[in-house]
Structure 1
Amino acid sequence: MSLNFPLLLVIAVAVCGALALFDLLLLAPKRRKAIAGYSAQVIEPDQAVLETLNKEPLLVEYGKSFFPVLAIVLVLRSFLLEPFQIPSGSMLPTLEVGDFILVNKFAYGIRLPVLDRKVIEVGNPQRGDVMVFRYPSEPSVNYIKRVVGLPGDKIRYNADGRLFVNDQPVAEQLLGEEAGSLGSSAQYTEQLGAIEHRIRKQMNRYHVGAGEWQVPQGHYFMMGDNRDNSNDSRLWNDQKIPRELLGMVPDQNIVGKAFAIWLTWPEPKLHNVPSFSRVGLIR
């Protein structure tokens, strides 16, 4: 079972904050009173005694020390930016395994941590955006794919690898071919809305994920740029999800918009060194 890091972070901030508040309201006044009482009884107060009387309990000391750090992390991670690492090749050639990316948490609205409830509207995903979201069948797992279908769109993906949005073919242009361990593949440029980006397809084979879908309101259809090696909206088949919502990502599962690569460090990390050669904006 995956750890719910946002929940753990909120709990940690709450506990540390409660310790700091408990000290401020109850323990600190008692320490000050004890110091005043001792000082009134002696002519020259002993510094060691004063330090002992003013000493905070160890748990309170730790709580007060960690609270501002954890609070800043919570605010940054929940409302501004969150780092992620790319674990698979489903977004090749755009994102490689080992890329560390930054995700804009407010691009699609301000959401409460843990509850994931949108409280302030900022913007909506646009066709072509690279988006991080919680996998509908297992919300504790984050996925990263490209937005292909918006609410109300009709999506068709043919066995020949051609993509259609609202019965219009998505423009693509062949860039070149390359050989790999799983056979030859080809790279194309693809125009999704205002975004031109690269995709990869396997050559001389039936393309996976052929079918047609109608995107419901409040949902999005996601695909990986590595079209024949991506577990995305075309392939999801969870029997617990209503048939009309299969493959769809609901708005409440959105995490944010991936916008930049800031580091690349492939596995195994002990045998590789971090690289900044791929630093740049994500398209």
Structure 2
Amino acid sequence: MSEENKNVADALNDIFEDDPAKKERDKEIAKYEKKRQKAIDKEQKKAAKKAAKEAKEAEKKNADDEQENKEKSSWSWDKAVAESSADAKAETADKSEEASQKETSEEAAGAAKSESSDKTAEAVNTDSSEEVYNEDGELDEKALKKQLRKEKKEAKKKEKAEKEVNIVKDLIFLCIYIIIVIGICWAVLTFVGQRTEVSGESMSNTLHSGDTLWIDKLEYEFGSPKRFDVVVFPYGDDDETFFIKRIIGLPGETVYIDEDGVIYINDEPLEGDVYGREAIASDKRGVAAEEITLGDDEYFVLGDNRNNSRDSRVEDVGNIHKKDIIGRAVFRFTGGFGKIE
């Protein structure tokens, strides 16, 4: 009787092994086990990408927070790797257990299939408890597709939020850049030089009304004005009106203009004066009709259009102090492009 039972059991096992429904279920399990593995790989890649991005953002922060952010990024990365390794080990163990149970009995295979179902649902979307297997233990295609669509939608929302954050950061960096550029321009115009425009004909034929010039403000910070330099200075206490003239007399010198319009420096005729447009008329000598001795850091200036210029010959202009000189006119942009002699 015992021998007959054994034969019956063997026959039943052969029948179950050749059961097409069982083979189909095993095929479905293998198919969606592969999908589960892809979902796990996708989660691992997302975790690695997120950790790398956090590390990059941490580098942009200030020195006080840099170390702390690096530790957080490192911790996140180690955690992701540890979780990934644990999932991989668990998956390997599950597959081994499933294979063993399939070889022993159909009931063990059903249990392995149920466990695989739960893990597949968790890998597809860890934030949702929606099952992708129906009550019969078979994979529900519609539920799986719905789960994947939901996950994809959430990923797009997250990506959109990250893009908005990046746009805000770019705008902040752009504003900072503009502020820096404006600051540099202000510093150049305040301390290095500035653009100005000539008004009037007191410096013709060297300069004419409407000429655009560049004024060097730094030169006299490191040296003193020289004879025949073309300089810019304010008219008295008026900070909005500026004169542009040529230096004739230097500190400590005595300046005098005779009746023939000849300029004398320390009782000697001025040499090298090739800039005067014409001889100075007798009635245009002004205060220089008598000897003028210049004090420390004082300069005597004239316009090149000697008979049509308000300069040191006029009492309300007088001698120019070095501290009042804004700078030297060095370059002309319009009206004859080039260096000013």
TM-score band by shorter chain is: 0.5 to 0.7
Determine the structure 2 residue equivalent to 1:101: 213
Equivalent AA in structure 2 for residue 154 of structure 1: T
Matched, 1:137 2:249: no
* CA 49–97 in structure 1, closer or farther in 2 if over 3 Å, else same: same
Alignment of 1:235-250 (within 5 A): 235-237=314-316, 247-250=318-321
Determine the structure 2 residue equivalent to 1:200: 277
Matched, 1:127 2:208: no
SS at match of 1:108: helix
Equivalent AA in structure 1 for residue 234 of structure 2: R
Determine the structure 2 residue equivalent to 1:281: 339
Matched, 1:167 2:292: no
Higher strand share: 1
CA drift of 1:236 comes to 3.5
CA drift of 1:132 comes to 1.5
Determine the structure 1 residue equivalent to 2:178: 66
8 Å Cα contact 1:135/1:253 also seen in 2: no
8 Å Cα contact 2:200/2:209 also seen in 1: yes
Equivalent AA in structure 1 for residue 220 of structure 2: Y
CA drift of 1:95 comes to 0.9
CA drift of 1:64 comes to 2.5
Matched, 1:154 2:225: no
8 Å Cα contact 1:163/1:169 also seen in 2: yes
Determine the structure 1 residue equivalent to 2:332: 261
- TM (norm. structure 1) is 0.57
SS at match of 1:141: strand
From 298, 301, 307, the counterpart of 1:222: 301
8 Å Cα contact 2:281/2:307 also seen in 1: no
8 Å Cα contact 2:193/2:215 also seen in 1: yes
Aligned-CA RMSD value: 3.4
CA drift of 1:107 comes to 1.4
* CA 46–170 in structure 1, closer or farther in 2 if over 3 Å, else same: same
* CA 47–214 in structure 1, closer or farther in 2 if over 3 Å, else same: farther
The CA deviation string for residues 135-191 of structure 1, in whole angstroms up to 9 with x for no partner, is 2331332221011121112111234322111221114xxxxxxxxxxxxxxxxxxx1
CA drift of 1:256 comes to 1.4
Q: Tell me, in whole angstroms, the C-alpha distance in 1 between the residues paired with 2:223 and 2:280.
A: 38
Equivalent AA in structure 1 for residue 215 of structure 2: V
CA drift of 1:90 comes to 0.6
Q: Tell me, in whole angstroms, the C-alpha distance in 2 between the residues paired with 1:67 and 1:61.
A: 10
* CA 47–166 in structure 1, closer or farther in 2 if over 3 Å, else same: farther
Determine the structure 1 residue equivalent to 2:106: none
Identical-pair percentage: 28
Point out where structure 2 has 5 or more consecutive residues left out of the alignment.
1-60, 63-126, 128-150
8 Å Cα contact 1:94/1:199 also seen in 2: no
CA drift of 1:98 comes to 1.8
CA drift of 1:217 comes to 0.8
Aligned residue pairs: how many?
192
Using CA pairs under 8 Å that are at least 6 residues apart, name the structure with larger relative contact order, 1 or 2. Answer: 1
Q: Tell me, in whole angstroms, the C-alpha distance in 2 between the residues paired with 1:204 and 1:224.
A: 14
Matched, 1:84 2:163: no
8 Å Cα contact 1:80/1:105 also seen in 2: yes
The CA deviation string for residues 99-136 of structure 1, in whole angstroms up to 9 with x for no partner, is 22222222111xxxxxxxxxxxx211011111122223
SS at match of 1:217: coil
Q: Tell me, in whole angstroms, the C-alpha distance in 2 between the residues paired with 1:156 and 1:150.
A: 13
8 Å Cα contact 1:220/1:248 also seen in 2: yes
Q: Tell me, in whole angstroms, the C-alpha distance in 1 between the residues paired with 2:224 and 2:281.
A: 37
Query: Which structure would you say has the larger Rg?
Result: 2
The CA deviation string for residues 198-257 of structure 1, in whole angstroms up to 9 with x for no partner, is 2123787633425232211122221111111111111132xxxxxxxx612222212211
- TM (norm. structure 2) is 0.48
Q: Tell me, in whole angstroms, the C-alpha distance in 1 between the residues paired with 2:292 and 2:168.
A: 62
Equivalent AA in structure 1 for residue 303 of structure 2: G
Decide which moves more: 250-259 or 61-70.
61-70
* CA 219–60 in structure 1, closer or farther in 2 if over 3 Å, else same: farther
Higher helix share: 2
Point out where structure 1 has 5 or more consecutive residues left out of the alignment.
1-23, 26-40, 110-121, 172-190, 238-245, 265-277
SS at match of 2:326: strand
